[in-house]
Amino acid sequence: MTNEVYYPNPKLSKEARIKSMDEYWQLQNSAKKDYEGFWKKYADEKIEWLAPYSKVLDESNAPFYKWFIDGKLNVCNQCVDRHLEKRGDKVAILFEGDRGDIRKITYKELSQEVNRFANLLKEDFGIKKGDRVVLYMPMIPEAAFAMLACARIGAIHSVVFGGFSAEALKDRIEDAKAKLVITADGAYRKGKPYMLKPVVDEALEQGGDSVEKVLVVKRNNEEINLVEGRDYIYNDLIKDKSTECEFEVMDSEDPLFLLYTSGSTGKPKGVQHSQAGYILWAQMTMEWVFDIKEEDVYWCTADIGWITGHTYIVYGPLAAGATTVMFEGVPTYPDAGRAWKMVEAHKITQFYTAPTAIRVLHKMGEDEPKKYDLSSLKILGTVGEPIDPIAWKWYYEVVGRGECAIVDTWWQTETGGHMISPLPGATPIKPGSATFPLPGIMAEIIDENGNKPKVGETGLLCITKPWPSMIRTIWGDDERFIKSYFSTAKKDGKPVYFSGDGAMYDEDGYIWITGRVDDVINVSGHRLGTAEIEAAVKEDSHIAEVAAIGVPHPIKGESIFIYVVLKDEVELENVKEHVNEILASEIGNIAKADDIVAVPGLPKTRSGKVMRRILRSIARGEEIKQDVSTLEDPGVVEEIKKCVKDAKK
Ligand code: WT7
């Protein structure tokens, strides 16, 4: 924690929607006084309702909260159609390919593309309201068209990150019982083509029997296998589709999409989001946190396979009528100046990325930003993990020339949009702190019983009132929803949403996120459950026991450290390679571990419980504070330490 304070640039404050902390507190206090009234005001102002709602918030079946009861709308209309009159010729999506190819798609063109896509889904694939469609897509405009087309006809999309393996894809298809998979032959990364379609083929060989058809968008034109009667080429079918397509009238609470994320047990959770509440907050946070203006060119570097890509590349920016940049490649190719070159070329005004990316760009090209004209930048965003002061200062001073606001946005797949963040024109910033909850969001640090911890003491980061863009349930598993989020903490005797993160207040009431308190590892801002990793490794015939731990990593934030106990008589020449192959095939390359150490046994209590804290201390090279004498075999600790030491050599 630092007490350095950076005050907002007065020029930004002057133009901002929320100009001062006084205004912030006024808003937040008005929400506290009349919570429903607060949300009603914005819902009425922002959403194009097709039929009015009868009630703002229904708490009768808590924690299955409902928002804007009986209201009717269409999210695609909210993001596309309603802009046509005013912004038809404005660029909606500015696409830059890995190799520098550029496509500018206006709102009018977006409308036509999405309508054709929606017609294709309905006419050729029989997709109807409520059907699940899995997207396994690269970062190309067609991915956004597909999402919006689903929203238009009321189909529920589930985007699976392109880095996940066939096995992981199959699991997600099966959990959602998807009827259709939309994919691409592949795309380009670092100047070279890579493939996606073969992964879909493999997934469907392994299972995913609910899938009737596969739609393939051609991007890199590499050779692919087509299964007759199952696989179809988008580029052929789309040509003769009409650019007119009426949108489905959706209820506020109909599901909009599912997005799978890791939790503390083995199976990923299908986080279910709604229509009205989600899109309302996506748009409001674009306006408050990014203070998006009509002429702005906004760029978020996330992948559409994550919630950041959903809310802050597609839905939020388009609902706000903005120009959103979509980038196929990586910011370090062909060199560490690529991102800054793009900022200069497109006159980017808001740039939103993850601390990992900032650290990589810093490391690879400390002075690189100075070679480009970055004067268009006004607001810099960060998300995914706490940002360290070194990365923060470089971002602020070198990328932002000391003139930009840095918005450190804390939120989660489950929250749908930003929860805690500075407001660029109002909040005095302390580097590394996400500062204060946004207006209307009752984020609080409490203990299990709802008491506020002392300054500097870690507590549970909770959201003590329902909010419009919150997770509605875990797809097909209401019980797990309650157990995961509403069974840890209570306030005034009522269960409240617990995020899984720890956090503390400083003496000025600033919020400092300390990281996950559950068994979730955050690698480069991506969530992985230790249980999920362990389940994958345990399936292997060579391995008797496994424990996965997160350890601090200078670039990635955290990296994965795995202990394995081999079965008796098993000899493995290269344990690390072997285990990482399993992880790559069961989950994906993002789940590969930096450290894998074979040990003779795990430290267990007499009742057989693995003492993860001891393993964590050893992996992190920290002193062991627990009493080891109560272990079933206290000697194992020294043996493990020795194995770790040998492995480090
Ligand atoms: C977890 C959510 C939401 C977008 C990306 C990740 C961590 C997120 C911050 C931040 C400190 C952060 C938390 C959270 N996290 N933003 N600004 N400061 N930690 O989404 O995969 O759902 O992960 O990311 O631990 O719980 P996600």
Give the pLDDT confidence score for residue 175 in this predicted structure: 98
Binding site membership of 262 for ligand 1 (Cβ less than 6 Å)? no
530 and 636 in a common domain: yes
Instruction: Report yes or no on 106 lying in a domain.
Output: no
Compute the distance between CA of residue 35 and CA of residue 53 in angstroms, rounded to an integer.
16
For residue 515, give the nearest of 649, 366, 355 by alpha carbon: 355
pLDDT band at 3 (very low <50, low <70, confident <90, very high): confident
> End-to-end alpha-carbon separation of the chain, Å?
34
512 and 525 in a common domain: no
Which range among 68-77, 284-293, 519-528 shows the weakest confidence by mean pLDDT? 519-528
Beta bridge partners of 513: 503
For ligand 1, the distance from its centroid to the CA atom of residue 85, given in whole angstroms, is 37
- Full-model pTM: 0.96
638 contacts 624 by C-beta, under 8 angstroms? no
Compute the distance between CA of residue 184 and CA of residue 496 in angstroms, rounded to an integer.
41
> Does the CA dihedral 581-585-589-591 come out positive or negative?
negative
Give the pLDDT confidence score for residue 318 in this predicted structure: 99
Q: Supply 389's token pair.
A: 């002061």
Atom in ligand 1 nearest the alpha carbon of residue 411:
3
622 and 544 in a common domain: yes
631 and 531 in a common domain: yes
- The domain containing residue 568 runs over which residues? 520-647
Binding site membership of 522 for ligand 1 (Cβ less than 6 Å)? yes
Label residues 409-423 b or e (16+ Cβ within 10 Å = b).
bbbbbbbbbbbbbbb
Binding site membership of 525 for ligand 1 (Cβ less than 6 Å)? yes
3-state secondary structure 417-473: CCCECCCCCCCCECCCCCECECCCCCEEEECCCCCCCCCCCCEEEEECCCCCCCCCE
Binding site membership of 384 for ligand 1 (Cβ less than 6 Å)? yes
Pocket test for ligand 1, best of 514, 522, 528 (most atoms within 8 A of CB): 522
Instruction: Report yes or no on 562 lying in a domain.
Output: yes
> DSSP assignment, residue 499?
E
pLDDT band at 334 (very low <50, low <70, confident <90, very high): very high
- Domain of 472, CATH number, reads 2.30.38.10
Instruction: Report yes or no on 633 lying in a domain.
Output: yes
Atom in ligand 1 nearest the alpha carbon of residue 500:
26
For residue 365, give the nearest of 357, 375, 354, 373 by alpha carbon: 357
pLDDT band at 373 (very low <50, low <70, confident <90, very high): very high
Binding site membership of 412 for ligand 1 (Cβ less than 6 Å)? yes
Instruction: Report yes or no on 279 lying in a domain.
Output: no
Which range among 320-329, 418-427, 604-613 shows the weakest confidence by mean pLDDT? 604-613
- Span 476-513, pLDDT tens digits: 999 999 999 999 999 999 999 999 999 999 999 999 99
564 and 492 in a common domain: no
Determine the residue type at 15: E
Mean pLDDT computed over every residue of the chain:
96
Binding site membership of 439 for ligand 1 (Cβ less than 6 Å)? no
Atom in ligand 1 nearest the alpha carbon of residue 513:
11
564 and 504 in a common domain: no
Instruction: Report yes or no on 641 lying in a domain.
Output: yes
pLDDT band at 79 (very low <50, low <70, confident <90, very high): very high
> Does the CA dihedral 121-126-130-131 come out positive or negative?
negative
532 and 505 in a common domain: no
Number of domains in the chain: 2
Mean pLDDT confidence for 106-128: 98
Q: What is the DSSP string of 590-633?
A: GG--SEEEE-S---BBTT--B-HHHHHHHHTTPPP-S-GGGBS-
165 contacts 585 by C-beta, under 8 angstroms? yes
Instruction: Report yes or no on 541 lying in a domain.
Output: yes
Q: How many CB atoms lie within 10 A of CB 617?
A: 18
Beta-carbon contacts of residue 564 (< 8 Å; ≥ 6 apart) = 537, 543, 545, 546, 575, 579, 596, 597, 598, 599
Q: What is the DSSP string of 144-205?
A: HHHHHHHHHHT-EEEE--TTB-HHHHHHHHHHHT-SEEEEESEEEETTEEEESHHHHHHHHH
Residue minimizing CA distance to atom 24 of ligand 1 = 384
Atom in ligand 1 nearest the alpha carbon of residue 520:
25
603 and 528 in a common domain: yes
Beta-carbon contacts of residue 121 (< 8 Å; ≥ 6 apart) = 127, 133, 149, 150, 153, 155, 180
Instruction: Report yes or no on 240 lying in a domain.
Output: no
Q: Supply 416's token pair.
A: 């749908």
For ligand 1, the distance from its centroid to the CA atom of residue 355, given in whole angstroms, is 11
Percent of the chain with pLDDT over 90: 94
For ligand 1, the distance from its centroid to the CA atom of residue 415, given in whole angstroms, is 10
Domain end: 516, 536, 569, which one? 516
Binding site membership of 411 for ligand 1 (Cβ less than 6 Å)? yes
Compute the distance between CA of residue 523 and CA of residue 530 in angstroms, rounded to an integer.
12
632 and 537 in a common domain: yes
Binding site membership of 410 for ligand 1 (Cβ less than 6 Å)? yes
Domain end: 516, 539, 558, which one? 516
For residue 360, give the nearest of 348, 370, 368, 372 by alpha carbon: 368
pLDDT band at 644 (very low <50, low <70, confident <90, very high): very high
Give the pLDDT confidence score for residue 2 in this predicted structure: 65
Compute the distance between CA of residue 624 and CA of residue 509 in angstroms, rounded to an integer.
33
Domain end: 487, 516, 545, which one? 516
Binding site membership of 527 for ligand 1 (Cβ less than 6 Å)? yes
- Span 200-240, pLDDT tens digits: 999 999 999 999 999 999 999 999 999 999 999 999 999 99
Binding site membership of 421 for ligand 1 (Cβ less than 6 Å)? no
Instruction: Report yes or no on 387 lying in a domain.
Output: no
Can you give the length of the chain in residues?
Answer: 649
For residue 178, give the nearest of 200, 195, 199, 148 by alpha carbon: 200
Mean pLDDT confidence for 76-95: 98
Mean pLDDT confidence for 371-386: 97
Pocket test for ligand 1, best of 387, 409, 412, 501 (most atoms within 8 A of CB): 412
- Span 265-277, pLDDT tens digits: 778 999 999 999 9
623 and 531 in a common domain: yes
Q: Supply 390's token pair.
A: 């070194």
600 and 616 in a common domain: yes
CA dihedral 635, 637, 639, 640 (to 10 degrees): 160
643 and 630 in a common domain: yes
- Domain of 555, CATH number, reads 3.30.300.30
198 contacts 228 by C-beta, under 8 angstroms? no
Q: Supply 459's token pair.
A: 């507590």
pLDDT band at 92 (very low <50, low <70, confident <90, very high): very high
For residue 79, give the nearest of 52, 118, 134 by alpha carbon: 118
- Span 278-331, pLDDT tens digits: 999 999 999 999 999 999 999 999 999 999 999 999 999 999 999 999 999 999
